[in-house]
Chains A and B, each alone.
Chain A
Amino acid sequence: MEKVIDIKHLNKSFGSHEVLRDVNFTVNKGEVVCLIGSSGSGKSTLLRCINLLETPSGGEIIYNGENILDDKHDIKQYRTHLGMVFQQFNLFNNHNVLKNCIVGQQKVLKRSKEEAKTNALKYLQIVGMDQYINAKPRQLSGGQKQRVAIARALAMDPEVMLFDEPTSALDPEMVGEVLKVMRQLADEGHTMLIVTHEMEFAREVSDRVVFMDKGVIVEEGSPEQVLVNPKQERTKEFLKRTLKQ
């Protein structure tokens, strides 16, 4: 299997607070990996370290064989290969839906306006938002915003998609529409790393599930292994607590 992201001995502290401790894991090409764990266990921090929104305190992040923490590595270039979807959507408030999906292609990837537009419309259609291209973010519902945010990330044609609790800020009736889009992407073979609390979804789409607790990876394996027959006590406890809700 071809490793796309390979994380070795990753550490991250905020001041004296150690948030990630010796994290090792890989994402292979075409794989869907779900990252689960209770709130505050460091899932977001791990995701944000991967695209360098946070600077790791130690360790290596190997992307296609190159350590991107080397000083000479072009961070902006690297980030274009990762599509990030945030819990709070973070659509550009000054741009309409279409422009949200175009601006990065034009300004960062230097694509022509026509090419960028065609590509943006392709992905807006996939997420079912092609009818709303003239709408401003403030005119959309949470679920619609998140689908546009997914299209914006996809329009950059990234190699890996990162999702940080994409449905946690949504009203319950809107969770389904976003998960449906993500399921489709998974079926199409996109490489995805997803932080989620949707256990049912994780079980269905993941090739692998990683359970984190207090900044360390406690257990990882197939959805069956981790979610149905966990070996570690901490995983069992977490699942018991989550399923009760």
Chain B
Amino acid sequence: MSLDIILSILKENWPSYLHGAYITLLIAVFSTIIGALIGLLIGVVHTIPLRKKSIKAVILKVINFILTVYVEIFRGTPMIVQAMVVFYGLYAYGIEMDRFVAAVVVVGLNTGAYMAEYVRGGIVSIDKGQYEAAAAIGMGHFQTMVHVILPQVFRNILPATGNQLIMNIKDSAVLSVISVTELFFTTKSIAGANFRFAESFIITCFIYLIMTFIASRILRIVEKKMDGQDAYQVQTKKEEPNL
């Protein structure tokens, strides 16, 4: 194993590596966004206050049950198995899903199952006084969620979402089982052709590391931005206040 070989592999295959990294990143970003949205939706539905006995309450209970089943299945089985079941399962029914789409769906559903729990935790950790203050000025449940609670939940779940993004960058490698041309699959092809497995995968290792490192830095910056300035500006008469 030498640096020369690594450089020559890189020289020959860099477009393939780049494309593989690009697909990996796409899968990770899309599935994290989808997962966060699923998690948010489930978290919100799980925390809708149940009023006495009404048809609405019964429907809500059924929905909650289905959502719980979803969460348990996706948290309780390996993603590599889920990928096989989703892709080949649908294939057996004559539905040939685009492999990339299948990958995003599987990783997204997986992320959603984890995020649901974080969101639920993020919602219940918010002080009851925030709900009461919103109710006291006449806001309904939906308005309270949108204007008061969820913005605080977003901030609370941001670190968890960042972790998920980093996990998804790495774990999307298992999607190679359904032949998605992400980074791991691409590297296997490269190594299969030149028989230099170690060198080919060292390159891949660095690419993953660069991607996860940059992702975590960006998230740190977003967190800082959301927290706002440490100091506030004391307003003098003429300045326009910003909202």
Contacts of A152 in B (CB 8 A): 137
Complex: chain A residue closest to B152, CB-CB: A94
Considering the complex, which residues of chain A in the window 98-136 have a beta carbon less than 8 Å from any beta carbon of chain B? 98-99, 102-104, 107-109, 113, 117, 121, 130-136
Given A90-B130, A103-B147, A108-B143, A80 contacting B137 (CB threshold 8 A):
yes
Are A86 and B241 neighbours in the complex by a CB distance under 8 Å?
no
Are B235 and A104 neighbours in the complex by a CB distance under 8 Å?
no
A79 at interface (Cβ–Cβ under 8 A)?
yes
Q: How many residues of chain B get a CB closer than 8 Å to chain A's CBs?
A: 28
Are B235 and A134 neighbours in the complex by a CB distance under 8 Å?
yes
Are B132 and A90 neighbours in the complex by a CB distance under 8 Å?
yes
Give a binary string over A146-171; 1 marks a CB under 8 Å from any B CB, 0 the rest: 00010011001000000000000000
CB distance from A227 to the nearest CB of B (A): 29
Given A92-B130, A94-B148, A139-B232, A134 contacting B242 (CB threshold 8 A):
yes
CB distance from B56 to the nearest CB of A (A): 16
A241 at interface (Cβ–Cβ under 8 A)?
no
Cα(A83)–Cα(B132), bound, Å = 12
Considering the complex, which residues of chain A in the window 30-62 have a beta carbon less than 8 Å from any beta carbon of chain B? 51, 53
Contacts of B148 in A (CB 8 A): 92, 94, 103
Query: Quick one: which of A83, A89, A90, A134 contacts B241, CB cutoff 8 A?
Result: A134
Contacts of B132 in A (CB 8 A): 53, 86, 90
Contacts of A80 in B (CB 8 A): 137-138
A24 at interface (Cβ–Cβ under 8 A)?
no
Query: Quick one: which of A76, A84, A94, A136 contacts B232, CB cutoff 8 A?
Result: A136
Contacts of A76 in B (CB 8 A): 138-140
CB distance from A211 to the nearest CB of B (A): 25
CB distance from B63 to the nearest CB of A (A): 25
A91 at interface (Cβ–Cβ under 8 A)?
yes
Are B241 and A53 neighbours in the complex by a CB distance under 8 Å?
no
Given A90-B133, A99-B243, A104 contacting B139 (CB threshold 8 A):
yes
Considering the complex, which residues of chain A in the window 67-87 have a beta carbon less than 8 Å from any beta carbon of chain B? 76-77, 79-80, 82-84, 86
B15 at interface (Cβ–Cβ under 8 A)?
no
Cβ-Cβ contact count across A and B, 8 Å cutoff: 90
Contacts of A93 in B (CB 8 A): 130, 152
B136 at interface (Cβ–Cβ under 8 A)?
yes
A28 at interface (Cβ–Cβ under 8 A)?
no
Are A91 and B133 neighbours in the complex by a CB distance under 8 Å?
yes
CB distance from A116 to the nearest CB of B (A): 10
A88 at interface (Cβ–Cβ under 8 A)?
yes
Contacts of B147 in A (CB 8 A): 92, 103, 107
Contacts of B124 in A (CB 8 A): none
Given A92-B130, A94-B148, A82 contacting B139 (CB threshold 8 A):
no
Are B151 and A77 neighbours in the complex by a CB distance under 8 Å?
no
CB distance from A112 to the nearest CB of B (A): 13
Cα(A22)–Cα(B135), bound, Å = 26
B129 at interface (Cβ–Cβ under 8 A)?
yes
Considering the complex, which residues of chain B in the window 215-243 have a beta carbon less than 8 Å from any beta carbon of chain A? 228, 231-236, 241-243
Complex: chain A residue closest to B139, CB-CB: A108
Query: Quick one: which of B155, B231, B243 contacts A98, CB cutoff 8 A?
Result: B243
Are A134 and B233 neighbours in the complex by a CB distance under 8 Å?
yes
CB distance from B239 to the nearest CB of A (A): 9
Ordered nearest first, which 6 A-B pairs have the shortest CB separation? A104-B137, A90-B129, A135-B232, A90-B133, A84-B136, A80-B138
Task: List 12 interface pairs A-B (beta carbons < 8 Å), by A numbering.
Answer: A76-B139, A77-B138, A80-B137, A92-B130, A92-B133, A92-B147, A117-B243, A131-B236, A133-B235, A133-B241, A136-B232, A149-B133
Q: Which residues of A contact B (CB under 8 A)?
A: 51, 53, 76-77, 79-80, 82-84, 86, 88-94, 96, 98-99, 102-104, 107-109, 113, 117, 121, 130-136, 139, 149, 152-153, 156
